[in-house]
Amino acid sequence: EEDGSESGWVAARTSCDHLGALSDDLSHIPTPGTHCNTCQHPTENWLCLSCKQVLCSRFVNKHMLHHFHLTNANHSVALSFSDLSVWCFSCDAYLDAQLIPQLRPVYQLAYILKFGEPPPLLPSDQHHLPSATSV
């Protein structure tokens, strides 16, 4: 039985207890090219989904990780502008932004801002589309 550990793949969580601290307005977010608010590093930046600050990853200057600690772990959830993954620092896990209803709209918006088009539909979305035979 494979758990993905050899390939480095990990399953993203489909629930998280820290989503209550998300910003009330995630319909307006900085663009994926935004530099770190602290050091101005241009890449590997994350969007805090509580206060919408853009801060660099633990692989650059760790400003998003510092932000998590400075907020007493109240700002736990962040979206990567590099690959649009969502990470919860409190859970120490990736979250499935396409399957968690509170995260899906901000994931879709970030995808549009990054690629200029909506994300591809998940197989489960297919039944929500009107078909050509619908009346």
**Mean pLDDT of the chain, nearest integer:** 89
Predicted confidence (pLDDT) at residue 35 exceeds the cutoff of 80: yes
- With respect to residue 9, please indicate whether it lies within any of the assigned structural domains: no
- With respect to residue 49, please indicate whether it lies within any of the assigned structural domains: yes
- With respect to residue 5, please indicate whether it lies within any of the assigned structural domains: no
Q: How far apart are CA 79 and CA 22, in angstroms?
A: 11
- With respect to residue 104, please indicate whether it lies within any of the assigned structural domains: yes
Mean pLDDT of 3-31: 85
* One-letter amino acid of 95: L
Residue 105's domain is classified under what CATH number?
3.30.40.10
pLDDT of residue 3: 46
> What range does the domain containing 81 cover?
19-115
Encoded tokens for 66:
């510092």
Q: How far apart are CA 10 and CA 102, in angstroms?
A: 21
Tell me the pLDDT tens digit for each residue of 54-110.
999 999 999 999 999 999 989 999 999 999 999 999 999 999 999 999 999 999 999
Domain count along the chain: 1
Encoded tokens for 103:
């995260």
- With respect to residue 23, please indicate whether it lies within any of the assigned structural domains: yes
Q: Which span out of 4-18, 32-46, 115-129 was modeled with the highest average pLDDT? A: 32-46
Encoded tokens for 56:
């660099």
pLDDT of residue 101: 96
- With respect to residue 99, please indicate whether it lies within any of the assigned structural domains: yes
Q: How far apart are CA 126 and CA 135, in angstroms?
A: 17
Q: How far apart are CA 88 and CA 133, in angstroms?
A: 42
Predicted confidence (pLDDT) at residue 127 exceeds the cutoff of 60: no
- With respect to residue 90, please indicate whether it lies within any of the assigned structural domains: yes
Predicted confidence (pLDDT) at residue 135 exceeds the cutoff of 50: no
- With respect to residue 3, please indicate whether it lies within any of the assigned structural domains: no
Q: Do residues 82 and 43 lie in contact, with contact meaning Cβ atoms separated by under 8 Å?
A: yes
Predicted confidence (pLDDT) at residue 23 exceeds the cutoff of 90: yes
Tell me the pLDDT tens digit for each residue of 47-65.
999 999 999 999 999 999 9
